[in-house]
Amino acid sequence: MEIHVLASGSTGNATCLKFGETAVLVDAGISARRIKKGLDEVGIGVENLSAVLITHEHTDHINGLKTLMKRYQVPVYTRPDTWDAISFRSLLPEVRCLPLADSLDIGNVKVEPFSISHDAADPVGFSFYHAGRKCCLATDLGFVTDPVKKALTGSDTVVLEANHDVDMLKTGSYPWPLKRRIMSNKGHLSNVDAGWTLVRLAQNRHTDIFLAHLSRENNRPDIAQTTVTGILEEAGYTQTADFTLYVTYPDRTVSSDADGQK
C-alpha cells in the first residue's frame, strides 16, 4: 500500500493511493498538469489510474477535473448530489461520470465512502481495504461524527484534516463570518480536534498518520505536528512504535509505503 499526497490545503487537494496494480486518485483540486507531474515523480502513470474519487464539489477538490477527464479516459465517481453541484458538469463526458455507491470494488480494492460534516452538497470521506490492510481519508469536516469515528477505527493509515490552530485563527486576519464558518460543525477540523480524534480511536496497531488540509493563514506545519504529537504522547502513544506522523503541503508530495517515508 502506497500513499502519495500530491497536494493538500485550501489551494488544492489530490491524493493517490496505490494498492498493488490498482491506483486511485482522491480529488483533483490541482491542475491536470500538476497531477501528471506528481504521479510521474512517484512512478505512476496518470493513464494507469483505475479511478478518480471526488469527496465534494468545492473548487480546491475539483479544479483540475475538467482537463483531467478531457485528456484521460479515467472513470470518476462521486455522489449524485455532488455531480449536480459541479458547475461544469455539463461539459464532462457523461459515460465517465459515475454515481458513487455505498460500497465499490475498484480492481483489487474495496472502497467504502462515508458521510462527513461539511458545507457541501453531499461530502464524503473514504475507507479503502486491500490485502488485510485499511486506509481511511477524512478531510474537510467540521467535527468527527460517530460514522467518521467508526470509519477511522482500525486503519493502518489515516489521512486526517488538521486545518487550523484555534488561536491563530481567532487572532488572524480572516473576517469574522469566515472564522465562524471554519470553526463551525460544517467547517474544518483544528489541530487539537485532530489529535483528540486520533487518541479516541484507541488503536492497537501502528498507524501512519498524514495531517492534511493545513491552512496557510491559520496554521503551520511545525505547530500542527507538535500539537498532534503532544496529544498522542500525553495519551501514552509513542512515536515510531505506535505511530508515524507526516505533515502534508500544498506544493509538494508527501509519501509513505510499507518501508516508510520516501
C-alpha cell at 64: 483540475
Handedness of CA 18, 22, 23, 24 (dihedral sign): negative
Note whether residue 158 is domain-resident: yes
Residue 208 located in a structural domain: yes
DSSP 91: G
Contacts of 168 (CB under 8 A, 6+ apart): 217, 218, 219, 220, 223
Instruction: Using the predicted structure, report yes or no on whether residue 259 has a pLDDT greater than 60.
Output: no
Cell of 152: 477511522
Distance CA 35, CA 68 (A): 9
Does residue 23 belong to any structural domain of this protein? Answer: yes
Judge whether residue 205 has pLDDT over 90. Answer: no
- Residue 54, phi-psi category: left (phi > 0), alpha (psi -120 to 50), beta (remainder): beta
Nearest-10 Cα torsion for 1, 233, 148, 26: -40
What's the total number of domains in the chain?
1
pLDDT band of residue 262 (cuts 50, 70, 90) is very low
- 29-33 mean pLDDT: 97
CATH number at residue 61: 3.60.15.10
Judged against a pLDDT cut of 70, whether residue 98 lies above it is answered with: yes
The reply to whether the predicted model has a pTM over 0.75 is yes
Please give the backbone phi and psi of residue 167, each rounded to the nearest 5 degrees, phi first: -65, -40
Q: Residue 260 pLDDT more than 90?
A: no
Q: Would you state the pLDDT for residue 62?
A: 98
pLDDT band at 261 (very low <50, low <70, confident <90, very high): very low
Lowest-pLDDT range of 26-40, 97-111, 246-260: 246-260
Residue 46 contacts by C-beta under 8 Å, 6 or more apart in sequence? 32, 35, 36, 39, 40, 68, 72, 74
Helices (H), 153-214: 166-171, 176-183, 191-200
* Residue 262 located in a structural domain: no
pLDDT in tens, 45-92: 999 999 999 999 999 999 999 999 999 999 999 999 999 999 999 999
pLDDT of residue 257: 67
pLDDT digits (tens, 9 = 90+) for 137-163: 999 999 999 999 999 999 999 999 999
Q: What is the pLDDT of residues 122-133, one digit of tens each?
A: 999 999 999 999
When pLDDT is averaged across residues 165-183 and rounded to a whole number, the result is 94
Label residue 107 by pLDDT band (50, 70, 90).
very high
pLDDT band at 204 (very low <50, low <70, confident <90, very high): confident
Domain housing 61? 2-257
